Structure 1
Amino acid sequence: MNKSLAASVSPALYSSKTNTKIFTLTSAEHNIEVGNWKIDSTQLGILDTYFIIEQKILHGGKQEGSKIITLTSPNGLTITLSPTRGMSIINVIGQDMRFGWDSPVKEIVNPAFINLESRSGAGWLEGFNEMMVRCGFEWAGHPGLENGEMRTLHGKIGNTPASEVEIEINETAPYEIKIRGLIKESTFKKAELQTLAELSYTPGTHHFTIHDSLTNHADYPRDYQIMYHSNFSKPLLEKDAQFVAPIKEISPFNDYAQKGLSDWSAYLGPTKDFDEMVFNIVPFSKTDGSTIAALHNKDGSKGAAIEFNVKELPYLTLWKNTDTEKQGYVTGIEPGTNYAYAASIEREQGRIRQVKPGKTVHFKIKYSALMNKEAVNKVKKEITDIQGNQKTTIIQKPIAKE
């Protein structure tokens, strides 16, 4: 467990470092829940920048009891996440910019109201509306039976409330803020995985970083899978918007996606009766394993970039769901340890990893809002440089059948 989380003993201020303040909002270990809570930079004596951090308890309908934390930087980004929903990011907003989408699911659904095994294992969809939801860690991908057990759609972590939540604020410029949550996937005889999920953001900037640490607390090796299901819609997604990445190999997920392989990187406007198209991608990277994928609007005046490392997340899934706006007009860019096939297929094709007893694996992803053409072009050049003269292999047929 992270030292500061372990040391959080009360909702009052706990200082673990010079010039750093840590606030505990939730602790299952110490039976703490501060409820509605708010602080701003002026209360901390920070006068050369301004930010607000607020936790709210939501009420009504299926969001009863859900919590959201909103970090607002007027000159940068406003980031909202939900500790109730596995530290998922609900949306990110900046000037003329939004990361996220308009799902038919409007509430921040409390997992207490979701049955993951409903709809033949696709009950996860009844709460799906996040900008970024973790699919994992015990398993991920499409629902299916393995060894007689149901592996529900995209795992359980996105519907698991964080047991410990804290906020760390550095009082020295540039005032980095970290929001951490500890999420436990513990089942007798099955798994004892704990994920320390951290979001870090510097006020006034247009990027933020996710750093997850997954630890196996069991006495046996355990499987893990993770897909960072990162979702975007308007104003980035529109007719002729483009996805760009340095691509080593691409294949259609199924026969329906095979029909869209000829123009897989371009998007339609909202289109009735468009089913989801999914593409499996192996990205190229720099020598250190770092790589980048991006989405930009039609004229390249704004976009979103996702940086990750193929040593941690070797695969990339592109999800195109350009259905009507009411149905959910959205695309997903999903770095992961695997593709979205059922766990049985991923195991058969060798894409399921294991973490040894007592060991920790790390995942780091940086999200950047590209606010103008200059920023978009800079990322596109970086992608072109990584691709270089290396050819993209296009596999015409799906690599698996569900």
Structure 2
Amino acid sequence: EAVAGEVRLGWDSPVDEVVNPAFIELNGRGGLGWLEGFNELVTRCGFEWVGHPGEDNGELLTLHGRAANIPASRVGLQIDEKPPYAIRLRGELQEKAFKKLDFAIVTELSTEPGRTGFSLHDTLTNQGDYAKEYQVLYHTNFGTPLLEEGARFVAPVKQVSPFNPRAAKELSDWQRYRGPTRDYDETVFNVVPYADEQGQTLTMLHNRAGNLGVSVGFNTAELPVFSLWKNTDTEKQGYVTGLEPGTSFSYNRRYQRPLGLVPKIEPGEQKHFRVSYELLVNSAAVDAVRKRIEAVQAGRDTEIRDEPLVDLSKD
């Protein structure tokens, strides 16, 4: 979680403690064991795969990969001695399996004194001798006080589609949130964002009054697509939304190859992923981000697809 003043960025999961990865059985619950430790503000999904559990090439792929439950091999804290006195927390993850892959991930969180936000920078290196598929998704989760009845999601949207038939029923109101709703469970929408000439784009969640919000910025050359997860169930069940930039959507990997969303990383190659988060503390800050988003949209049309990109009825 992150705290700025009296505002907490995060959410209230029934999983209310940090769970040691040794106690997470990813294969449990039919591949949904990941949920037994799920409570973070930012959850790294990947890097070998992301998406819903299921088989791909004869292997069971568990929910959203292993990265969130791999302990760091090394952790270091650096504080710059010159302005703006940046604070950087860095860790190294090793995602490896004999005959399968040899990935190293250097992950860094950074902020500066006085900043109401933080940045994430991950570097993925393929240390093996063969090109490998990879996927990554930054499952960024917000609850109250940002999430409430009438809260809204804002982004420069090139294309939006429902994840499944359930989401298709709410496509006409996909950017607006409900209050806690018993038996609501979840809906997901697939988003392809517009970006500026440098590939930078910006998304925002703000409360009903529009005087408190958060922005999530990223580069579409690194993270070309975005998932909006709306889990507006009861508060004790987990009232939360996910703003999720990624290389891929949340379908099982086997469904995403035909969509062109399972990239490869060559031997010795590095891939970088950068995401920035900023708390918007008043109406002026929310309005300023809204204007930046409108500038990226630049009057271009949004394609609204009525049908899901993938037919999950055979799954």
Give yes or no for TM over 0.5.
Answer: yes
Q: CA deviation at 1:269?
A: 0.4
- In structure 2, C-alpha distance between the alignment counterparts of 1:196 and 1:251, rounded to whole Å: 33
Is 1:363 aligned to 2:279, yes or no? no
State how far apart, in whole Å, the 2-side matches of 1:141 and 1:270 are: 25
Q: Which of the residues 200, 203, 225 maps onto 2:113?
A: 203
Alpha-carbon offset, residue 97 of structure 1: 1.6
Aligned to 1:379: 289
Answering whether residue 212 of structure 2 is matched by residue 297 of structure 1, we say no
**How much has 1:338 moved relative to structure 2?**
0.4
Q: Distance in 1 between matches of 2:241 and 2:24?
A: 24
Shift of residue 95, structure 1, vs aligned partner: 1.9
Structure 2 length as normaliser, TM-score?
0.98
1:337 matched to 2:247? The reply is yes
Q: CA RMSD in A?
A: 0.7
- 1:401 to partner: Cα distance: 2.1
Is 2:60 aligned against 1:162? Answer: no
Output the CA distance in 1 between the equivalents of 2:259 and 2:283. Answer: 40
Deviation at 1:207, TM superposition (A): 1.6
Distance 2:32 2:304 in 1: 30
- Summarize the alignment of residues 3-402 of structure 1 with structure 2, pairs less than 5 Å apart: 91-402=1-312
Query: Relative contact order: is structure 1 or structure 2 higher (C-alpha 8 Å, sep ≥ 6)?
Result: 2
How far apart are the structure 1 equivalents of 2:13 and 2:80?
35
Q: Which amino acid aligns with 2:10?
A: G
Q: 2:19 & 2:311 partners in 1: Cα distance?
A: 32
1:312 to partner: Cα distance: 0.3
2:244 partner SS: strand
- Tell me the secondary structure at the aligned position of residue 390 of structure 1: coil
How far 1:172 moved relative to its partner? 1.7
Aligned residues: 312
Q: Distance in 2 between matches of 1:351 and 1:136?
A: 13
What CA deviation, in whole Å up to 9, does each residue of 1:128-156 have, x standing for no partner? 00000000001000011111111100000
Structure 1 CA distance for aligned equivalents of residues 237 and 140 of structure 2? 18
User: Which letter does structure 1 place at the counterpart of 2:257?
Assistant: R
Runs (4+) of structure 1 exceeding 2 A deviation are: none
Matching residue's letter, 2:235 = E
Distance in structure 1 (CA, Å) of the matches to 2:31 and 2:220: 30
Larger Rg: 1
Amino acid of the residue matched to residue 321 of structure 1?
A: N
Q: Give the deviation of 1:173 after TM superposition.
A: 2.2
Tell me how far apart the structure 2 counterparts of residues 198 and 173 of structure 1 sit (CA, whole Å).
19
Aligned partners of 1:364, 1:399: CA distance in 2, in Å? Answer: 26
The aligned counterpart of 1:63 is none
Q: Structure 2: which amino acid aligns with 1:360?
A: Q
Deviation at 1:276, TM superposition (A): 0.5
- Any unmatched runs of 5+ in structure 2? none
Query: What secondary structure sits across from 1:173 in the alignment?
Result: coil
C-alpha distance in structure 2 between counterparts of 1:369 and 1:158, whole Å: 24
Task: Name the CA distance, whole Å, in 1 between partners of 2:20 and 2:133.
Answer: 27
Using the TM superposition, give the Cα deviation of residue 228 of structure 1 relative to its aligned residue in structure 2, in angstroms: 0.3
CA distance in 2, matches of 1:175, 1:351: 38
Offset at residue 203 of structure 1 (A): 1.2
Counterparts of 1:349 and 1:388, CA distance in 2: 26
Moved more, 326-335 or 384-393: 384-393
1:3 is matched with none
Gap runs ≥5 in structure 1: 1-90
1:195 alignment partner AA: I
With the length of structure 1 as denominator, give the TM-score of the two structures.
Answer: 0.77
Deviates more, 1:317-326 or 1:343-352: 343-352
Give the aligned residue type for 2:154.
V
Instruction: Give the distance between the partners of 2:220 and 2:67, measured in 1 at CA.
Output: 22
Encode CA deviations 1:298-334: one digit per residue, 9 max, x unaligned. 0111100011000000000000000000000000000
Q: Identity across aligned pairs (percent)?
A: 51
**Deviation digits for residues 195-215 of structure 1 (CA, Å, limit 9, x no counterpart):** 000011101111211011000
CA distance in 2, matches of 1:135, 1:348: 20
